């Protein structure tokens, strides 16, 4: 197996920097658009054979070092009692958003092995298809990000309802997040059992919180998830955007790998999370829309800041945008692999 990605998660030397991309399966690929013409987003997520096919599309097309199961971070919401769907140009919409303590108390715990069995089946089938070519990543949404969708009902700019509930009824907030955290831990452990080599917790929108609010309202719940994952031995990636001032707290909550976005230079981010963590990131995904020269120069800047230290996984700071060209993705993946850190001789913390 190509184990660059797993080695980097464990901060072991590698022959080249591993690279994968968030949303590496998606609208920018014509193979994906062809499937989406016949199937809804939720159909793709809920039909194991289709999820496998979409998961493998980018692996066939690009020299990536990891696959990520095709799914959505919101999937646990429906079985928990919060049905939702995706609407074009508008993103996910939750049918009856949470607005009160009673709405929270109406939710009931789930057993992800049953309620999300289709994802676990997709993971098992994908592992078989991959046949050891590259590791497979499982994932789910983190408590704050799930809560923000559940409370706002969709994307938000101000998170006013979410924060109003958080500030106004901390006990109810913590009950909601404890339910999301327990579900996430059960679900990620089940994904590891099904074959996921690594798991990623997406706290995509947590960057709208102050450090003090993160510590009070989010950290304990994320820590619970990572504590429960530890015995599995599978490395965990802790991801968010807009987290420049939250990175030390994300590291404190847990994760062998911490994700960073482009708003903070990679070396500054690594200094904040500490040398005992691996780091994933952090190119601005809009650079894939730029001319090749600028794209490659920006990637070089990220790689130079990583400085060939073991424990860097190259990725974007967020998902690939729909308007991206497959050629740009291919150029970038190849460029990352070809990069040699200055002064590192034959390579990056070269594998002996």
> For this structure, is 187 an active site residue?
no
Residues 6+ apart with CB under 8 A from 207: 240, 241, 242, 243, 244, 246, 261
Residues 6+ apart with CB under 8 A from 211: 245, 246, 249
Could you say whether residue 12 binds a copy of itself (CB under 8 A)? no
> Using CA atoms, how far apart are residues 99 and 292, in angstroms rounded to an integer?
47
User: Of residues 264, 303, 313, 329, which one binds a copy of itself by CB under 8 A?
Assistant: 264
Provide the 3-class DSSP secondary structure of residue 131: coil
CB 208 to a copy of itself: min, Å:
8
CB 115 to a copy of itself: min, Å:
30
> For this structure, is 33 an active site residue?
no
Instruction: Name which of 35 and 244 has its Cβ closer to a copy of itself.
Output: 244
Strands 136-141 and 67-68: parallel
Could you say whether residue 163 binds a copy of itself (CB under 8 A)? yes
Helix axes 219-229, 170-194, angle to 10 degrees: 20
- Of 32, 149, 187, 214, catalytic: 149
User: Of residues 95, 111, 268, 327, which one binds a copy of itself by CB under 8 A?
Assistant: 268
Provide the 3-class DSSP secondary structure of residue 269: helix
Question: Which residues, 289 to 308, sit near a copy of itself by CB under 8 A?
Answer: 289-291, 294, 298, 301
Could you say whether residue 106 binds a copy of itself (CB under 8 A)? no
Could you say whether residue 263 binds a copy of itself (CB under 8 A)? yes
Stretch that binds a copy of itself, among 21-29, 180-188, 210-218, 343-351 (CB under 8 A): 210-218
Residues 6+ apart with CB under 8 A from 159: 148, 152, 205, 208
Are 330 and 62 spatial neighbours (Cβ–Cβ below 8 Å)? Answer: yes
Q: What's the angle, vertex CA 156, arms to CA 150 and CA 160, rounded to 5?
A: 80
DSSP assigned state of 19:
B
CB 175 to a copy of itself: min, Å:
18
Could you say whether residue 83 binds a copy of itself (CB under 8 A)? no
Could you say whether residue 23 binds a copy of itself (CB under 8 A)? no
- Of 3, 72, 103, 197, catalytic: 72
User: Residue 137: phi, psi to the nearest 5?
Assistant: -100, 130
Q: How many residues bind a copy of itself (CB under 8 A)?
A: 36
Question: Which residues, 310 to 349, sit near a copy of itself by CB under 8 A?
Answer: 321, 323
Q: Under the rule (CB under 8 A), what is the footprint of a copy of itself?
A: 155, 157-160, 163-164, 167-168, 207-213, 242, 244-245, 262-265, 268, 284-287, 289-291, 294, 298, 301, 321, 323
Catalytic site residues? 23, 27, 36, 72, 149
């Amino acid at each position: 197996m190509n184990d660059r990605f797993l080695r980097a998660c464990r901060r072991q030397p590698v022959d080249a920097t591993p690279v994968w991309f968030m949303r590496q399966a998606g609208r920018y690929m014509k193979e994906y658009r062809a499937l989406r013409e016949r199937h809804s987003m939720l159909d793709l997520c809920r039909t194991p054979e289709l999820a496998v096919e979409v998961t493998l599309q980018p692996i066939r097309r690009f020299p990536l070092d990891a696959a990520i199961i095709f799914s959505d971070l919101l999937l646990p919401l429906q079985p928990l009692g919060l049905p939702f769907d995706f609407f074009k140009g508008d993103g996910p919409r939750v049918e009856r958003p949470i607005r009160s303590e009673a709405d929270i108390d109406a939710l009931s715990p789930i057993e992800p092995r049953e309620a999300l069995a289709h994802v676990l089946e997709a993971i098992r089938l994908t592992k078989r298809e991959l046949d050891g070519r590259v590791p497979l990543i499982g994932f789910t949404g983190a408590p704050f990000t799930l809560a923000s969708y559940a409370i706002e009902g969709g994307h938000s700019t101000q998170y006013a309802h979410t924060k109003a509930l958080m500030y106004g009824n901390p006990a109810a907030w913590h009950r909601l997040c404890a339910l999301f955290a327990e579900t996430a831990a059960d679900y990620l452990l089940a994904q590891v059992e099904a074959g996921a080599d690594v798991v990623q917790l997406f706290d995509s929108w947590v960057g709208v919180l102050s450090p003090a609010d993160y510590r009070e309202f989010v950290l304990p719940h994320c820590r619970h998830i990572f504590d429960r994952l530890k015995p599995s031995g599978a490395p965990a990636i802790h991801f968010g955007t807009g987290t420049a001032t939250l990175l030390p707290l994300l590291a404190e909550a847990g994760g062998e790998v911490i994700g960073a976005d482009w708003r903070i230079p990679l070396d500054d981010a690594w200094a904040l999370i500490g040398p005992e963590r691996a780091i994933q990131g952090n190119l601005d995904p809009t650079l894939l829309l730029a001319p090749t020269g600028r794209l490659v120069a920006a990637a070089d800047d990220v790689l130079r800041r990583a400085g060939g230290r073991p424990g860097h996984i190259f990725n974007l700071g967020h998902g690939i945008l729909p308007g991206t060209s497959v050629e740009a993705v291919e150029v970038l993946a190849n460029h990352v692999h070809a990069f040699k850190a200055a002064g590192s001789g034959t390579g990056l913390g070269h594998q002996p």
